[in-house]
Structure 1
């Protein structure tokens, strides 16, 4: 477990993520992180955009349902 302290950054409040955490998340200065609220009220910090994940799931569903049609269109 990593404990993060809130710190003043200008007129805002922020946290500083340790270098090891940034490396494990495969992110660097200037990248975006997403704070996602889970069903149980907890929060998750992730480098992956959850809206893109939902779009990919929807596209996968369409490909599964219309596999034969898509194969014919590809010919």
Structure 2
């Protein structure tokens, strides 16, 4: 493992470098095998990119908008549990 792909842990530390390559008419990010393993990613997985307040980008395996909507739905289902149970009959 060379210095560019060395993975360390700790908040605010660089854990790996990611390379951008031309792939057809698009561009793609190249993740090292070690980084893929550490993040529990597989080829074909989708990541969602969101902008952070400090101008960075955060990649997550789940869609943050969907998670917010699901939280609202869970609260509604809890609040109206009896009514939903009656409707399900």
Same-fold status (TM-score > 0.5): yes
- Equivalent residue number for residue 36 of structure 2: 22
TM-score (norm 2): 0.60
Shift >6 Å, 4+ stretches: none
Computed over aligned residues only, the root mean square deviation of the Cα atoms, in angstroms, reads 2.4
Higher helix share: 1
Q: What does 1:1-75 correspond to in 2, within 5 Å?
A: 1-67=15-81, 69-70=83-84, 73=86
Aligned counterparts of 1:67 and 1:10: Cα–Cα separation in 2? 51
Give the Å deviation of 1:70.
4.9
Structure 2 runs not aligned, ≥5 long: 1-14
Aligned counterparts of 1:34 and 1:56: Cα–Cα separation in 2? 17
TM-score (norm 1): 0.67
